[in-house]
Every structure is written in structure tokens, then in C-alpha cells.
Amino acid sequence: MLRRTFVRAALAAAVAAPFAAHAQETTLRMVSAFPENSFYAKRIEDWARRVNEEGKGILQINYIGGPKAIPTFEVGNAVKTGVVDLALNTGAFYTNLFPEADALKLTQVPVARQRENGTIALINEIWGRKGNMHYLARVVENQPFHLYINKPLAKPDLTGMKIRISPVYRDFFQSLGATVVTTAPGEVYTALERGVVDGYGWPIGGIFDLNWHEKTKFRVDPGFYDAEVSLVMNLDRWKKLTPAQREFLSRQALALESRNSIWAAYTAEEIKRQTAAGIQTIKFDDATAKMYAAKAKETGWAGVLKASPEWGPKLKAQFEKP
């Protein structure tokens, strides 16, 4: 009797042994809401490669691709429902899930500080409840948005102009009189080429990635808000990871976030590159520039507060903390 139990246990161990190492390794499917050849997407592709080198036996990332795999505005839902596990995305692309998603453009302190002062905890609470997402890391910051335009502009008045937007810019550009048209980044070039739009909103960096510089005459200064691009994960999948896998993935995501100091240098390079490409700067006088920046902030917050009476005030109080 005893012997039989022993034999059975030994057999079970022998069968299980070759699988033991594998049982601890899991593979996450990842997509990017930004185009495949954008600087943002290339950065996470490089990141995934490093994760895979260091994560043998723990965790691997299968980078599926960009909007060719899942269209930009559908990536949020794909993460929420678990069609993919992990995505590089910005809240403006998944306001269809919950309107608070677009509020992160309004943060004012570095993400490192947001981790200490409770902001990331609040974001995780909202993202978890409303989007079934775990907010892993903000991987772009220090990238203000700008208006790029092909007609000269004496003052901040966009009456009669058609501007490509994402939800980021809607309230602000409409308050300046613009007619707006929402497109994914992948459709901006064609819209410019066909003259469907007179301009577009985009951060200070990245307009060369898809050759928009060929169709851009002016950049309007100053910039406004701060572009948010983050790694988000399906919450159920996150909870199912082992503690070791969660610790490993968090550490890797935070390592990428901690390299956000690159963005300031990127801004300087991109400004130089725009100038060299013949893109002229439209600068308002000091008082008008101040009014322009204030209007961006005002309309941005008004939009968030109106869309989310529940979380808007909490986000605002939190974002105003030093």
C-alpha cells in the first residue's frame, strides 16, 4: 500500500518535472495603437525584445504589431475584453470605453511624482473599474501638443478651418472656431494630401515618422497639455499572473518609464528638424499666447468635468497636487 503510493507520487513527479519550468513562463500578446513605424511603437518593440531576453522562464511578450493588427480606436476595447493582454495606447483613443481616459493629457507633474502623490493609484482605480485595465507605465511625457497648420494665422482664430483631431484637442480647437475631423494617426497624411484638412493636432515630436512634414507649413506655439502614451494591461490577465511575473513585468515597465528623460532631448531635436524642413513657427504676442494657453487648459478641464461629474473633480484635485 505504502509502496504503491510512493510509486505513484514518484511517477507524478517525473511526469511533472519537465513542465515545471514552463508552468512559470507566460506569454503576453501586445499591440500598439500607434503606427508600426512610429518612434513610440519602435521604442516598445525594442523594450519587448529586452523583456524577452531577461524574462526567459518568467514572462515573454509577443508583439503582434500596430493598427494593421487592431485599428487604433479599437485597441482600448481589445485590452478591456482580453483580445490582447497589453497595449501601447493613449487615453484619447479609448474615450469610447470611459471619458476619463482623455484626462491624463492634463497632468502637470512628472510621472515619477504622480507615483508618490497618489495620482497613479487614482488612475488605476478608475482604469480598473471602468476599463478593466491595469495602468502599468506612462512611457511618454514632456511632449506638449501643438497645432500644425497650412494657412498663416495672425491670431488664434480657426474660423472656417478644418482641423484633424483626436479627442485631445476637440474642445480647445472648437472653442477657437475650428471645424474638426477625428482621424487615427494613420489617416493624417492622406487627409493633408487631399486638402481635406487645413491642419492637425500632434505633439512636438513625431511628425516625420509618417512624412507629415511634407505637407506641413506652420507650427503654432506655444504647445499645450502633455501627451500621454502608456502601457496598459487587461486587468484579469494581470491578476492571473504569479507574484513573480507581476513583479518582473512591473519592474520592466517602470524601467522604461524611468527612461522618460529622453523626451526633453527628443523635443529639442524635433524642433531643429522641423526648422530644417522649412516648417515656420507662428508665435503670438505674449498676452495672446497666455490667453491661448489658458484657453487650452480651461476647455480641457471643462470637457473632463462635464463628461465625468463623478471622477472629474477627483482627477482635477489630484492633478493639481505638487
87 contributes a contact to ligand 173 by CB under 6 A: no
- Considering only residues 110 through 169, tell me which ones interact with ligand 173, judged by CB under 6 A: 166, 168
For residue 23, give the 3-state DSSP assignment: helix
Name the β-bridge partners of 233.
Answer: 86, 134
- Altogether, the residues listed in the chain come to a count of 322
Among 48, 59, 104, 227, binds ligand 173 (CB under 6 A): 227
DSSP string over 253-320? HHHHHTTTTHHHHHHHHHHHHHHHTTPEEEE--HHHHHHHHHHHHHHHHHHHHHH-TTTHHHHHHHHT
223 contributes a contact to ligand 173 by CB under 6 A: no
Angle (CA) 214-45-255 rounded to 5° is 115
201 contributes a contact to ligand 173 by CB under 6 A: yes
Site string for ligand 173, 171-190 (x = CB under 6 A): --------------x-----
Q: Which residue, 202 or 218, has its beta carbon nearer to ligand 173?
A: 202
Among 207, 229, 235, 315, binds ligand 173 (CB under 6 A): 229
Judged by CB under 6 A, how many residues of this single chain contact ligand 173?
A: 10
Q: How many other C-beta atoms can be found within 10 angstroms of the C-beta atom of residue 165? A: 23
Distances from the Cα of 17 to the Cα of 10, 11, 24, 252, angstroms: 10, 10, 12, 29
Q: Which residue, 59 or 202, has its beta carbon nearer to ligand 173?
A: 202
Determine the interface stretch with ligand 173 among 19-27, 45-53, 201-209, 311-319 (rule: CB under 6 A). 201-209
Binding site for ligand 173 (CB under 6 A): 90, 92, 166, 168, 185, 201-203, 227, 229
